[in-house]
Structure 1
């Protein structure tokens, strides 16, 4: 196969089209470089302390995000991270089984598995006034593929008791 100038420029155009999505997606991730350049000083009971340079906090959209282990340990509290449930425990562990938000989502998926399709999204929304997790189940329906118009079709809203794991419908 012979390569010519036409093939070369055709390859550049195709490559540019394929990789242009990376530039579009890049702003979706926060740029934290500015925040990491400024070390923060934390005060505990009036005593200034600074974490090591590899665990500095960051400033993003007028909020300071701090290294929780550094803060908890300076308050003389142990920190335990449970990767399975994506839970962070500061201080004492709960004496009774507590379901995490991720476990609550899985409980709803399991309970309604027979009636949910792969297009349904099951996600945590917020805690209600009783401290129960509110879970929404929905799907996005495209009603015009040419224009991309779509709407959200809610299957249901559910509450999960974090102490018992009981799932109840809000509707």
Structure 2
């Protein structure tokens, strides 16, 4: 009888600790979805996935922003995501050899006797 109770207590302890450990996990589900952006169906590359977590859909921000004509950048040092959108009438400078590099919103200012340049590249 003592061995049975000892085994029961050990079993309950292991089961309870497993439940506590599992409570720190996140269960998200990948699911297929079609994206329609401005009336046009967009196919998503295999590198991207759409997640469902607690009834909320999490979409890949780079896929969405680039299909909307915006630019996205991730700053690893500050763990910051920047999304920049320029109005349709704004001219951007681009280089045909490097299509992912854009120049826009450049501001010149005087700093003492020097000219400074600030902007988004």
Could you tell me which residue of structure 1 aligns to residue 49 of structure 2? 56
SS in 2 for 1:53: coil
**For structure 2, which runs of at least 5 residues remain unmatched after alignment?**
1-6, 86-103, 107-121
Could you tell me which residue of structure 2 aligns to residue 42 of structure 1? 35
Q: Superposed, which structure 2 residues align to 1:81-120 within 5 Å?
A: 81-91=74-84
**For structure 1, which runs of at least 5 residues remain unmatched after alignment?**
1-9, 96-171
TM-score computed with the length of structure 1 as normaliser: 0.38
- Per the TM alignment, residue 59 of structure 1 is displaced from its structure 2 partner at its CA by 1.4
CA-atom RMSD in angstroms: 3.2
Could you tell me which residue of structure 2 aligns to residue 119 of structure 1? none
The change in CA–CA distance for 1:26 and 1:86 in structure 2 (over 3 A counts) is same
| Matching of residue 21 in structure 1 with residue 17 in structure 2 | yes
Could you tell me which residue of structure 2 aligns to residue 32 of structure 1? 28
The change in CA–CA distance for 1:21 and 1:54 in structure 2 (over 3 A counts) is farther
Q: 1:3-28 deviations in whole A, cap 9, x for unaligned?
A: xxxxxxx9xx5xx9579634422233
Q: 1:144-169 deviations in whole A, cap 9, x for unaligned?
A: xxxxxxxxxxxxxxxxxxxxxxxxxx
SS in 2 for 1:79: strand
Q: State the distance in 2 between where 1:56 and 1:79 align.
A: 17
TM-score computed with the length of structure 2 as normaliser: 0.52
Asked if 2 retains the 8 angstrom alpha-carbon contact of 1:78 and 1:91, the reply is yes
Asked if 2 retains the 8 angstrom alpha-carbon contact of 1:40 and 1:56, the reply is no
Q: Looking at CA atoms only, which structure, 1 or 2, has the larger radius of gyration? A: 2
- Per the TM alignment, residue 30 of structure 1 is displaced from its structure 2 partner at its CA by 2.1
Asked if 2 retains the 8 angstrom alpha-carbon contact of 1:39 and 1:53, the reply is no
Asked if 2 retains the 8 angstrom alpha-carbon contact of 1:40 and 1:50, the reply is no
